[in-house]
Structure formats: structure tokens, C-alpha cells
Structure 1
Amino acid sequence: MKKSIKYGIMLLVALVLAYNSVYFKSLSEVKASPASDQFDAATYANKFWNTKLTPGLNQAVEINALISLLKADKAAAFTSHSHALGIGNIRYFLVKGEGEITAVGENTVTVVATSEEGQQPVKIETEFVYGNAVRDAQGLIDLTDFTSTMHLNSVSEELNKKIRTEVVPPFKANAKKGQQVQFVGAIELNQEHLRLDEIEVMPVSLELVGASPN
């Protein structure tokens, strides 16, 4: 009998402790409280664009010089010119070039970039601008600014949207086969499975050489 009373008291204490250790909030309280995950991706992306990304475009490596280095010493090329936030074979480069437009397609503009190092055909993306190449190509993102990968990814989305809505339209509207274009943008390469025959550039700056200003 005494044992049953003892066990009963222990069970009651356990229930009280369990009840007091659980705290419930109403949905309205959660919505009204200052959320730690509130993050203005558009504001961050615009500041990053204006203070870090575009001021650093002069650091881009010329595309033909990069191709020559990749063929001669792949490891050195990746070490010297690529960036990525994660560990793996996918790396990003900030490149620049100038060349002749050879085709204007629905989703890309093909350019043969020419320099003293040689010639390299590239496809400038004008429709499917996505991914993290532009965000990560310079290695300027500060991870301490973010509390979640969702916020980090939302910055990529905002940068890509800016390119699709502000950088691409005036270029695409006036681009014609045979014109010269100067470009700066980000490319993605796989260090383990390197392919240089189909390079796609996510553009950050596009300028038609000799084109009349709008």
C-alpha cells in the first residue's frame, strides 16, 4: 500500500514537471513576435550589388586567358580564380570578354570572345538566369550575415531577378548578329568533370560596342 502511494506521488510529480516544461504559444502570438528569420533579401541584394559586386567587376579574368590557364594548369586556375561557399567540385568564376555576336536565340546570345589568348565561344544567358554563380563568383559573401540557408538562397534569387529585369532587357532588345559586345559575368565549372565547349555566362554587365545610347 505504501509503495503504491509512493509511486502515485512520483507519477504526480513527474506529470507536474512535464506540464511546466512545455510552453504553448498561440499562432497569433507567434506571428506578432519579432521573428528571428525576418530577412529583407531584396535590400541585402541591392546593397551587395552596389557596394561589392559591380565595384569589383574590374577584377574579372579575361575568358580566353582563363581557358588557356585551365588547359595548362587546371588546379592553378581553380585556386587563383574560382570561389564557392561549399566544399565540392562546383566552382564559380567571374569572367569578362569582348567579341562578336554570332547568334541571337530565344534564351541565349552566342558570342565569340576574342583576345590575344585566342577565341572562345560562350553563351550569354538571357532567359534562364538562376543559381548561385553571380552571388558566389567573387567570394565576397559574408556567411555571418545569414541565419539560414533559406536567406542565403533568397539573395541569389534577388540578384538573378535583377539581372533578368534590368541587365538583360536593354541588351536583348538591341543585340544583333555581327555586333560587338563587352560582357562581364559569372560562370560555373566542375573541377572534376571540366567542360570548356559549352560555357554559359550569367551576365552582370552587357554593353554593345558602338551602340547608340537609348
Structure 2
Amino acid sequence: MKLLNPARLAICTLIVCVLLYFFPLFRISKLGSSPTSALDSKARSVLDTASPKKLSSPDVTTYIEKLWTDRLPEAAGNAASVDEVLAMAAADPARARQEYGREVGLGGPTFFFLRGRGRIESVDQDECLVIIEGQSQPIVLEIGILLGNAVRDATGLVNVGEFPNSQEFNRLSAELNERCESQVIRPVRDFLVVGTHVKFVGCGEVRNNKDFDPLKLIPVQLTVLNPAEQIE
């Protein structure tokens, strides 16, 4: 076996030492200040910034009040025209859902946030059938006990990520429905008679194209028009 001469051995040893200095087999780090911990902390900071701040349970009450009194009335002016939606739905329901609706979740229902006016054709305890001038299909205003998530989900104002749990998120639906019953429908309930003209902003839910015949809306604003207002 041929041995390395001392000079060559010294050079090889020096090279190995240099490599180990710059590329150590392991590192010794001070506890509590490892690079991994720093990276994890930075990653958490980025995620916290990107994610919506979750509300506490008491904050949900304040959130609902602000949504109902400020944000929802402001958004009502941007609701889609019921005339345009019904006209498109009569020819191409799928396109109407795509252009005017809002889907929550993959394969879920399509929600609509609409405004319009029309004449009451019939009314009972739970529903008010409204004829929209120039449209082949009427709409139905739901005026009985209100259920579902249309008011919560149709406007696009609510982010589920803001809520601490599903219970509080579902509570929002229940409270919005109750306010529609007590503050929107009940004050005008006795004036909803056949032949009366109404102006409305409402939220509806379509699970399949047959739900356009007729389209049902929960009113978040509902006004009975006097004769002078009917011709505007």
C-alpha cells in the first residue's frame, strides 16, 4: 500500500478542514433562537396577516348590528335588477346564475341579491306573489316564518372566516331572518293586499333552474307605494 507523503497529507488535511468549516456536518445553536423557530414565527406572522381576524362571541352582536343598520342598506343600491335577472333566466337560466348570482361553496346553491318593484297578484300568510311588469314570470316575496341562509349569503358582505365557530355563523342567519320578519315585513303586513304596488330589495336562493319559476325572495327592504309613486 502506497502512503501519502507528508506534504500531500498536510494539503489534504487542510482542504478537509476548510470544507468542514464552511459546510459543517451539524450546527450548535443557542436554545430558543434556532433558525427553524425564527422561520416558523415569520410564517405564522404572514398567515395571521392574511387570515381575517376572528370575532369573539360578544363582537358578533356588534357585527350583526352594524351589518343590519349600515352595511346592508348601503349595499342595497348595488343589488341587481330583478327585471334583468328574470329576462335572462327566461332565456338562459344557467347564464343568469353565472352573471348575477353568487355561489357559496362548490356545487352549492346560487344566491341572488335583487331589487325591483311590482304589483301584488295574490297574498296569503306566508307568501306574496308579485307581478313584474314586462316579465313572463312573477316573483314571490316570503312574508311568513323565514328560514335559510339567503340573507346572510346573498350580499357577499359576510366572510365565514371572521366567525369563531359555525354556531355563531348560523346565529347570524337566524338573527337576520328575525329582523326581516320584525322590522321589514311586520310594519307593512296589513298593507300587502291584491292590487297594491310594492318596491323591494330581497335575497333569494336557487338550487336548480326550476327555482326561477317563481323566484322566491326574502325582503330586506319592502315599501308599499302610493298611487303617485307607482308611476315613477
Both structures adopt the same fold (TM-score exceeding 0.5): yes
1-side partners of 2:168 and 2:58: how far apart? 7
What SS is found at the alignment partner of 2:119? strand
2-side partners of 1:188 and 1:140: how far apart? 16
Deviation track 1:13-57 (CA, whole Å, cap 9, x = no partner) reads xxxxxxxxxxxxxxxxxxxxxxx9634544322211223211111
Equivalent pairs, count: 174
Residue correspondence of structure 1 range 1-214 to structure 2 within 5 A: 38-115=57-134, 118-191=135-208, 193-210=209-226
2-side partners of 1:198 and 1:72: how far apart? 14
2-side partners of 1:62 and 1:151: how far apart? 31
For the structure 1 residues 113 and 137, does the alpha-carbon distance in structure 2 shift closer, same or farther, using more than 3 Å as the test? same
- Which stretch shows the higher mean deviation, 126-135 or 71-80? 71-80
What SS is found at the alignment partner of 1:206? strand
More strand by share: 1
Deviation track 1:135-171 (CA, whole Å, cap 9, x = no partner) reads 1111111233112111111011110110111100111
Amino acid in the other structure paired with 2:142 = E
Amino acid in the other structure paired with 1:102 = E
For the structure 1 residues 181 and 87, does the alpha-carbon distance in structure 2 shift closer, same or farther, using more than 3 Å as the test? same
- Superposition CA RMSD, Å: 2.2
Shift in Å, 1:203? 0.5
1-side partners of 2:155 and 2:84: how far apart? 17
For the structure 1 residues 72 and 188, does the alpha-carbon distance in structure 2 shift closer, same or farther, using more than 3 Å as the test? same
2-side partners of 1:211 and 1:50: how far apart? 29
Contact 1:184/1:206, CA 8 A, preserved across alignment: yes
For the structure 1 residues 41 and 130, does the alpha-carbon distance in structure 2 shift closer, same or farther, using more than 3 Å as the test? farther
Shift in Å, 1:60? 1.5
Contact 1:39/1:151, CA 8 A, preserved across alignment: no
Amino acid in the other structure paired with 1:178 = G
- Which stretch shows the higher mean deviation, 41-50 or 199-208? 41-50
Deviation track 1:64-103 (CA, whole Å, cap 9, x = no partner) reads 3102223444443223221233222411001122111111
Q: Identity over the aligned pairs, expressed in percent?
A: 28
What SS is found at the alignment partner of 2:133? strand
**Which residue is equivalent to 1:24?**
none
Which sections of structure 2, spanning at least 5 residues, go unmatched?
1-54
2-side partners of 1:64 and 1:204: how far apart? 18
- Which one has a bigger Cα radius of gyration? 2
Deviation track 1:160-209 (CA, whole Å, cap 9, x = no partner) reads 11011110011112222111111110111124x54321321100111111
